[in-house]
Structure formats: C-alpha cells, structure tokens
Structure 1
C-alpha cells in the first residue's frame, strides 16, 4: 500500500488547442492525445479543471458506480457560475483568459496557467503544469503549483505540530496520514482534489518552490479557489457538503466510560457527578462494541456480560437526565455461522486471490476477536446494517460511536468494484453515512450525532468528530487543541475534546493542568470527562472542585453561543474553533500564535498551555478587543502579558460583536426553550447580529446608534462609554454624551 514514485511513460500535457466555449465551460484538445482539458466556472471564485479522455469527461450514460462516487464527493456537481473567454497573444503564441468577474484564469498554449484577482497574481502552475504517467495500478496525473518563498500552506487534515504543511508529504488513503483533501494559503488561493482514489501531496518537500499533487485516477479533477480562507471554506463546503444540526443535548458535557470499567461502575460515577453538582448531559460507553449480530442470525444482540439489561441501563441514565452513546462496528465475527453464510452470499469484503471473505485481525472494537467487514458498497448490506442500528436508537440509545477507518490491505475488492486506496477512502464514509441515516435520516430536521475519529473526503457532512487519545500532561493538552484547530482549518466544524485519557498514566496530571485543560475545553465545541476515578473532579481537593464548578457554569452559559456557531457552520462552513491564519490572513504576525484561536466570530481565546500564571496573548490587527475579565479595551496589533489565575482564562471580545449567554444549569434539559438567554455582553458599538442558537436577534445601525430587536427581558452589559435605552421591543445602543 506504500505509494509508488516511479512513473512509466511520463509525459507533460502541453500544446492545447481551443475546441469550444459555453456559458460555464471551456474545452481544449491536448495535441497528439485523445485527452481534453475542461475548465468550468463552477461557482464565483471557483474554477474546476478536469483532464482526461473525452469519453470520460462527457459520458453518454454514467455508470451507477460513477454516479454513486460523485455523490459521495459533491453535493453540487453542476456549475452555478458563468464565464467569459477571450483569446490573447502572450508573446509566445496563443493564450486564453477565462474570467468570472474580477477572477481570471489565464491558460497558455503550453498548458501553463495562472490565477488572478484583479491585477494580483494568486497562484501559478509550475512548468510543466500537468504531467500524465502510469503505475501498475493505472494512470497518475501530476499537477504542479509554484510556491512563493514566504507562502504558508494550511489544511489537508489533522496536524499535531506546525499547522503550516510546507515541506511535508501526505498520502490521502493511509490512515496514519490523517489527511483531508483541501489545501489553502492565506494569500488567497485554495486547491481541492476531487477524487476517492489516492492523492499524494508533495508540499515543497522534493522541490522547495513547488507543490506537486499526484492524483491516481483516470481523470484529473481539481478545483481552484480564489478568496480569503473564509471564502474558500464557504465555497468548499457548499460544494462538498455541510453538517446538520447536533440538537441540544449533545452540547452538554459528556462522561466517557474508562477501559475495563463495568456499566455499574460507570453508572455510579455518573450518579456521583450529579450528587456533587457537576453538570453533564451524556455518557459514552467505551469499546468493544457491546452489541452486534448474533452468531447465527442477522439480528443484533447485546453482550449480557457487559450490559445485562440494555433498556434498564438506558432508563437508569435517563433518571439522571443523561443520554447514552454506544460503540458499534460494521463487522461479523469470524468462526460463526453468520460469517460463513454471508461469505457465501458475498456480503463481506473478499480476497481477490481466493474469492473468500477476508478475515481481519481482532481490534478493540471487536473485543480482540477476528472478524469480516460488511461490504457496505452492497446496497442490501448497507440497508441491513443501517436498519438494525436504527432499531437500537429507537430503543433509547442517543448516538452511535464508530471508528471504521480500517487499514484495508490491497488485494481486497468490494461488490461495488472498489479496491485498494479507493476502498480505504470509501469504507469509513459509507459506515458514517449508514449510521447517520439510522440515527437522524428519518427526522425533520435531521438532527443527530455520530461520534467517530475517521477522516475522509466530505467528513464535514457528519456531526461530529471525536478527538485523539492523548497523554495526561501539557503536551497531551496541546495535542488535543492542535488537532481541533487543524481539522477545523480543513473544513470539519467540530472536534470534541477529552479531558485526559483514562488509558494513560496520570502521574503528570496536576490540579493546575486539569483546571487549565478544562477551561480551554469549556471554550471549545465540546468535551468529555473521563470516568476513571483519577480523572474525575472528585479526585482533586475542594479548591480545585470549586474551580471545576466555576468553569462548568461557564460551559452551560456558553451553550446558546456555541450552538449558534454550529448553526452558522451549516450556512458558512466555518468551524467552531478557528486558527489565526484562517480569520486574520493578512496579519502574518498572528499566524505564529497557533495555540490561541477564535471561538466563533466574537471571542478570541488564549489558553494557558504551560504551567504558571503568565499568558502571552497577541491581539490581531484590524479590530479592537475587549478583555472579558477586566472590561478594558485594546487596539489590534498588541501583545499582552496577562496574569491569569486558575479561575481566569484570557478571552477577548472582538469589537462590534456581542456575546449572548444562557443560564447556569445541571444539564440542558433544564433549559427553557422559551427563554434560552439571560444576558448580553456588548464589545463596543454592536455592528453584527450575534451568533446564538435559534438566532432571532438583529442589529441595525442608523445615525451612529445601533438598534437591536430580540433582547426583550435580557440583561444587557454595555462596554464603557455606551448607554442602553429600551423602546418597547427595541433596544437602542448609543454613545454617552
């Protein structure tokens, strides 16, 4: 499965000949080949480049498999913009200028191209721009992009170190790469490789001034984006899909079962939290999967050794106002009657050499027992597994947990024809989608969550992502934070953090680290406690427990705001936690501050990621900032040294924004749907309508004042120099005279 670098018959793609132009599309013939280069104005600021045989670019009747794969990748396959094409003389021969408003793609006859915004060059191809070769597995296309010396590269999935991917290499289908397909640069361009097959990214590793994208498929299919990072993420997720709503209860704090812990012990830990007045909303069981197919029947049964009475367990947690999330996996245990029966039926992934079902080594999900993987490319298998899952959820389970990014070897083929790299990419996508269909597909709106750590193209369609297993030290805290920010930069709206790791040593977990980690988790999409005794709040002294309650109060007050950010992600594609490079692309200084982040549009958060009270904070240029702890105002471009006790987290409100806070609650069931908000904090003169769950608050500006509707009955805390006047259902914010 390792990538093969030696290509045979490598040929540059050059000598283009103009064929035709339509309102959305331009076609070129490639000399001495049967290949065409097609360019679409796919959306404003988005060009699609496809290169391949004419019959593949414009098939008379696409195969069912091709249609299925296209749907997995794109929710908007048809172009929605228009272009204008003109022929120009570039001094060496013909060239063509393809324009969408102020965005232009210039194509030369030798195949080289450049992307412009107005007079500004955003991105140019290398020379040659495209190359086509072959491996034993088929065609490989190389697209080359020139890189300026100072350009930083972001995206492409999970990163635990530097977010700048410059100088790295990634292989899309290898689980260890943790790769996603979107790459962007703060200077105003992005690239998305639209394929389920292998993609190799050489990000200046071989040639420092060149990014080479090697796409192993019959057709090269690449999207070019022009715009700032927020615009790129907006267009990318509009193209590839966005997540639905998670609902209210998943926004509350979670409690994770520890490895080896019985459900009775977990229930006792949950009761202990509730009795000690530590807020939480949901409980997640750990692996192995406590239910699966019977040995001789395609019906789910529970492991009575782990869960003697599932309905009673659901009821007991229900008494605590806690939902239950349960792990599952898409497999059938080997050495069972059902395995043999489904092997004969062709319902399991098969080996090419003997036609028998492939037996995978045991994993934590299977309890260490060998198993066969369900062939989810088979619509009958997919339907059976999804329907059985739905029965479990109808019985009261709140959400499934499933990691299905198996390292499937080469030489295994699915019923749909997928094999090798393509099968490794497709499989976790199908598993996640089948579970989402089961838990949310029958609901209107489709609210629901599927917890998984898997990364694959279009993963951002499914809420939501679980975080990595980390060490119980400052490095583990930073690891969790960095993965959340990096997957957010790749289009994933939510990563859920874990406060510690029940499977790792707690020797370095001090009360200071525990509280600092908790404070950062509170100002994130969400997080979970670990039910191991050493990682629960009660393991610490009374002062630390009081600090935990302080931060949990903040968490539940923030729920309407955080869920409002997620609702905004459905419209814009922006994540909950946003890197400095994403939000402030023009402030190069800010990019280096990679452990501070924006929580939605209003709040800049600077966690303390090492021991001590002193926290350095950089306030980016282009805005003024209000300290939530002191109420002081600072100009952007300022570096501060903040003295932060354990009850303080450096958080700054962006001027012009508002922060809407809800009530303190032991769980979200206590929220009053008719009164979700209690208080509004203003950061300077309000200019933007706030992010808030079920947003009905609107800000209008006129004659130097702001008029806000939707704040009836709420306490309003204006920043210094402003006064509040209520006029019925409307609030007027103006400067003091």
Structure 2
C-alpha cells in the first residue's frame, strides 16, 4: 500500500468463490471475510469493469441523491452495455470471461488477472500482492499491481512537457495536473473511476511493476482491450465527450498582457487589423473582470479596468473581434454579501465552522476571498445563471481557473473534502460555465477556457496550454503537453505563441515563424499582445511570412472544425501522437514530436534552429508531401531542407484535405460556401473530415465516386484524372 498506510492492517485478497453469474456481470466472494466482494461487468465490447469493496456497495443498485450526482461527474454511461460468457478454467482454478476474442481470466488461490486478445496476452497482474485493501475504517484504500513487459510504454495520465512515455515516473492525481486514463501500445488501458486520490508507481520503484494506490472503500477500475484509438473511443463514450465549439473560436486569438490597459489592447488589435493579420478574438488578462457586487448577488464589471462594459464589447465588435473575460467563483471578504452567504451556508467552510478564506492571488487582484460552495445546488445555479446573462449581453466566452489549494479540513455541502473536493470543485465550475455558454443551445455549442485538469475534463473542448519560455525549449514543451493531454482524451489544447510573462530576448524571427507554423497545424493558438511578440516586431519579410501562415490557418478552419466534430463522435484529439496512431510501429513512437493533425495530415514541426529536418514516415501507408506533391512510401526516413515559408506536412494516402477561403476573420466565411478547394493524396478511399461534412466517397471498379464537391476546385494526385458527371465526381487512374 502507499507509504501512509499501516501494513499491519492490509488484507490480501487471495481466495475467491463465484456467487453470481449473469451475462452482463459476475460476483465473487472473498473467502477471508464476509464483508468484501468483487463484481466484474461487461461494460462494453472489449471493456471490463472491476469493482471491489463492501458487498452492499456492489449490489448493482443505482446510487441516490448526492452519490448519483457525484457519479455523474465521472461517468456519462453507468449501465453495462456488453455481455460475456463465463467458463470455468481447467482444474477449477478460476473463470474465463469472454467477449468475442477478448478474454479476462480471473484466477483464485492465489488471485490473479490476465487480459488476452486471441492468443496474445495484453496485460496481467503481478505474481505477488495482486490486490490488497486496508482494513482501517478511517483510512480505506486499495493497491493493485500489474506486471509490465519490457516493451510496455505507458501513455496518458495527464500533462507532461517531457517524455510522453511515463514509465519510470511516480504520479498522484491530487497534484492537479494528472488525469485518470493510462494505456499501452501493447493494447490495454486502465481507468480508475474515482474522485479520490490515486497514485501511480509507473515502474518507478520496481522496473517490472505498475502499482496503483487508490484511496476509498471501493476499488472501481475499467480494463480496456484494443488499440489506443479504440481505447480512447470507449473511454470517452464511457466518461463523456466534448461539446462542439462555434465557428469564431476557431479563429486566431490575441491575449492581453498583465497590466495592459484596454486602450493599449485596442490599439494592438486595431494595428493587427490595419496590417491585415487575420484573427478573431481577444482574451482579457487576470484578475477577474467581473464578479458579484459587494452587497447583492448580481454581477458587475470591474469599474477600474472596464468602466463601461457595453462600450468595451461594442468597441471590439466594430473590429469583428469577440471578447473572452476571466471570472472566478469567489466572494470578497469584508462585504455584506460575504456575511449574507456565510449565514446561508453558500461558502466553503472549515470543519470548525469558519469560512475558508484564501489569500489574495492573481484571480482576485490580490484581495482575500471566500469560495462559493458549488456543491450547493442554489449557489451553483446562481453562478451559472449570472454567467449566462453576460453571454446574452455579448461576452464571447468566460475564462476561469478554479483549481484552488483547498485544505483537507474543508468539507463542502455535498460532503466532499480533501482530494475529492479538490477534484470536484473545478469540474463543477467548468460545467456551470459550459451550461451558461452552451446549455441553452441544441446541440450544445460554445467554449469556455481554463487550465484546470480533473477527471472527465475531456467533456470540454477547449484547454488552455501552459505558460512557457520564449525559446526553443518552450516551443517543444507546449507541443508535448498538447500531445500528452490528447492521450487522456482532451480534444484541444490552445497554444500560445510565446509568453508575455517571460523574457523575450530569445524570440528570434526564425523561432517565431517555426512556432507559428506549428500553431497553424493545431487546435488553435493565440498571439501575445506585447510589442516584442507581435508580428510588427520583426522585419518586413518575416511579417509577410506571418500573413502567409495566417492565410493557411484560416483555410484550414473547416478541416480543424471537422476534426473537432470527429472528436465529439470518437474521442480522438486534434493533435494525435505517433504512439496513439501507430502502436505497431516502434520507430514511429521514437519520433515523438511528430503528430497526426486529424486523420489526413502528418506534421513534423521544426524544433531547432536551422533548415535541416529529419522526418520519419510511418509504415503501413504512403505519404504525399504537401509542398512538392511527391509521394513517399511509409517506413522512410527523410532529410529535408525546410525554409521558413514551409513546414514538413504530409498527406496520408487515401485521404483528402478540404480547404476554405483565406479570410481576415471567421465572420467573412460564407455559410453556403465553406470550401474552395480539395487536395487528394492518391486515390480517395475515405470521406474527408470537414465541418458540416456532406462529402461522401464510394469506391467501385478501381475508381472513386465522390458526391458533395460541386463548385470546388479539385487538385488530384499525380497519375489521377477527374471527371465530373453532374453532382458526382469520378476519380480514376490515367490510362
């Protein structure tokens, strides 16, 4: 067990007996005690749910009241939708639970688990101390040990700016940057379904064992079998997927710098418009721009920063610019509203009854504050409704970081405390804001921005990236965090082109353009509104190249929105690592700063000074260079000279890339004509990923027949010809 546990109070679950056998679940009794049991469910095809704990908790009855609300924060689908066949293993050593070619073997005396697909062993428990729990009532917890293969790379578990393979690390979910899904290229995944603290010893102490330490009386683990993309699909179907953003957030953003006035920001924005740099939105800097009035529960704007909010929004709207502004679920101390809500019980309190008061920070402008208890349904509803009113008044999106250092001696109205409360609080804040932005639309559309990480964060499409340094290392760090978050199902990380809070001496024109080019081929990004990090800080040639890349960005918007629409259906992120997409190609996994940008494009950012770039094209497909139109076989290593006007991007054979018009902002998009051009990479085999997709590909007799390309310019690959027949396009090989 974890170091905090008393080993004298550890029960090893070794001897089991089968007490219930149903198509969707089995229940096992623990021989050592009458109080504990094990329930295994066929959650979905290739997915098993393993729960261990007090028999009453495993009855299968749905939770009620607050327990159900807490469960809904983690799971979008509670019921099992699969079935398995249960067969006794030879010699009555245990049971085999079979879902097609996927099998979970459960052995007794001693207890062990083995997950297989066909004849291949995907995952198995360690030889000793497979499953144990503490017997202390005041400190319940579980330990599970998994045996690792020498080649078992471990991916997921949240944010990292380092090696994407987390093997060798020790992580805790209570550190605020960890997420609960882990998977391996060998074809297995694990998700611990809890809001409590989970620690992961990823072969840190023992290089052959992955150990999970879980706080709480019930162990609840989902076991997945499949390739990484299958695991992400099943995981997000289980825990929830992102809502759809509207069109304007797909345009480029501009971030206000700390201490920068609205007039200064407006001057920056006007200069960008005047010089024809395409963008769509501004994000105002902390502290919170609006919040509750001191004497009544209505929002007001910070009069010192924003004397007239309506005039401010209109001023930016005149430039075709949307505004995102920071908010926080806080109440200033020493106000009549603080006293009123203290009496109502709407504020988080310590166990001694005193309101939790936090020292002033960036979010509160340095003023001490209390936290609204968002587990209280009336407080939650009020905060969300007030946000909705601002959205109706013209605010584009809220920005809210709600990860607070809540001490262990604080208990919320819903009974949450400690690590559970620290996980629940940002989840409730994010949900309340998303309800305000998108909850009144069908289907739900909109974004709210945050850096918070918590279980089920993948339900919200937009994640702000980390603060970075203005150097090559900062550029790479931003890229790696995006790929790492994608491993846990987070669909979009928004990159920043440098940082206004870091020294700018290292930001050369070369680095600026390389960083910008990679940002163009991402979910989205923002400029920093300080002179040293704006395009005008550089020479005229660099500025021309900035416009070139922004033109590319806006032409890619229909494709990027299509990828996000795909994420809503599949759970796959916009930027997809080599390990995720090519689990059977170890060489590809070693090139871990390359990524698939959606299904059609392979991107290899230039992460160091100089024009020479080495690129690996994964096995299994041919790849078409977007710059030259040349075709390369997969499994090839290339060394290329890459000028600042280009970035190594390759189209995947059988796919298409649909491009929209070059515009100055998304308001210039013609909803009746979102596309202008289609690029083909070999013979089309897959329908393209594009927003509001009505383009369909059908293959027959060696040709591809495509509907939905009316009026579009078509650029076929070399050796192919295009014939239009009314609304249908035929692509065939030149004879």
Shorter-chain TM range is over 0.9
Which residue does the alignment assign to 1:258?
257
Distance 1:588 1:494 in 2: 26
Residue 267 (str. 1) matches residue 232 (str. 2) = no
Could you tell me how far 1:198 is from its partner in structure 2?
Answer: 0.7
Residue 103 (str. 1) matches residue 90 (str. 2) = no
TM-score (norm 1): 0.98
Which residue does the alignment assign to 1:11?
11
Could you tell me how far 1:228 is from its partner in structure 2?
Answer: 0.2
Which residue does the alignment assign to 1:459?
457
Cα 1:136–1:273 shift into 2, 3 Å: farther
Residue 670 (str. 1) matches residue 668 (str. 2) = yes
Distance 1:142 1:496 in 2: 36
Residue 437 (str. 1) matches residue 435 (str. 2) = yes
Distance 1:497 1:88 in 2: 52
Which residue does the alignment assign to 1:351?
350
Which residue does the alignment assign to 2:592?
594
Tell me the alpha carbon deviations over residues 376-430 of structure 1, each in whole angstroms, 9 at most, x when there is no partner.
0000110111111111111100100000111211111100000001001100000
Q: In structure 1, the residue corresponding to 2:23 is in which secondary structure?
A: coil
Q: In structure 2, the residue corresponding to 1:387 is in which secondary structure?
A: helix
Residue 681 (str. 1) matches residue 679 (str. 2) = yes
Which residue does the alignment assign to 1:211?
210
TM-score (norm 2): 0.98
- Which structure 1 residue ranges, 5 or more long, are not aligned? none
Could you tell me how far 1:14 is from its partner in structure 2?
Answer: 1.4
Could you tell me how far 1:52 is from its partner in structure 2?
Answer: 0.7
Tell me the alpha carbon deviations over residues 201-250 of structure 1, each in whole angstroms, 9 at most, x when there is no partner.
11111111111111101110000000000000000000000001101000
- Which structure 2 residue ranges, 5 or more long, are not aligned? none
Q: In structure 2, the residue corresponding to 1:601 is in which secondary structure?
A: coil
Residue 427 (str. 1) matches residue 425 (str. 2) = yes
Could you tell me how far 1:639 is from its partner in structure 2?
Answer: 0.6
Distance 1:8 1:493 in 2: 44
Distance 1:174 1:251 in 2: 31
Distance 1:284 1:7 in 2: 51
Tell me the alpha carbon deviations over residues 596-646 of structure 1, each in whole angstroms, 9 at most, x when there is no partner.
100000000001101000111100001100000011110111111111100
Could you tell me how far 1:334 is from its partner in structure 2?
Answer: 1.3
The answer to whether the Cα contact below 8 Å between 1:168 and 1:202 also exists between their aligned partners in 2 is yes
Tell me the alpha carbon deviations over residues 571-615 of structure 1, each in whole angstroms, 9 at most, x when there is no partner.
110000000000000000111111110000000000110100011
Tell me the alpha carbon deviations over residues 539-571 of structure 1, each in whole angstroms, 9 at most, x when there is no partner.
111011000000000000000000000000011
Which residue does the alignment assign to 1:231?
230
Which residue does the alignment assign to 1:731?
729
Distance 2:597 2:137 in 1: 47
Q: In structure 2, the residue corresponding to 1:273 is in which secondary structure?
A: helix
Distance 2:278 2:556 in 1: 13
Tell me the alpha carbon deviations over residues 309-358 of structure 1, each in whole angstroms, 9 at most, x when there is no partner.
00011101111111110000011011222112211221111011x20101
Distance 1:368 1:418 in 2: 27
Could you tell me how far 1:63 is from its partner in structure 2?
Answer: 3.5
The answer to whether the Cα contact below 8 Å between 1:334 and 1:370 also exists between their aligned partners in 2 is yes
Which residue does the alignment assign to 2:619?
621
Which residue does the alignment assign to 2:655?
657
> Out of 369, 374, 384, which is 1:386 matched to?
384
Distance 1:538 1:699 in 2: 44
Aligned length: 731
The answer to whether the Cα contact below 8 Å between 2:38 and 2:58 also exists between their aligned partners in 1 is no
Tell me the alpha carbon deviations over residues 22-73 of structure 1, each in whole angstroms, 9 at most, x when there is no partner.
1200110011211111000000000000001111112757331210111111
Distance 1:423 1:190 in 2: 26
Which residue does the alignment assign to 1:132?
133
Distance 2:659 2:62 in 1: 54
Q: In structure 2, the residue corresponding to 1:421 is in which secondary structure?
A: helix
Q: Which moved more, 1:109-118 or 1:519-528?
A: 109-118
Distance 1:412 1:399 in 2: 31
Which residue does the alignment assign to 1:289?
288
The answer to whether the Cα contact below 8 Å between 2:13 and 2:32 also exists between their aligned partners in 1 is no
Q: Which moved more, 1:130-139 or 1:716-725?
A: 130-139
The answer to whether the Cα contact below 8 Å between 2:170 and 2:200 also exists between their aligned partners in 1 is yes
Tell me the alpha carbon deviations over residues 488-547 of structure 1, each in whole angstroms, 9 at most, x when there is no partner.
111100000000111111011000000100000000000001111111111111011000
Q: Which moved more, 1:187-196 or 1:337-346?
A: 337-346
Report 1:266-665 matches (<5 A). Answer: 266-352=265-351, 354-665=352-663
Which residue does the alignment assign to 2:30?
30
Tell me the alpha carbon deviations over residues 241-274 of structure 1, each in whole angstroms, 9 at most, x when there is no partner.
0001101000000011011000111111111100
The answer to whether the Cα contact below 8 Å between 1:579 and 1:598 also exists between their aligned partners in 2 is yes
Cα 1:135–1:328 shift into 2, 3 Å: farther
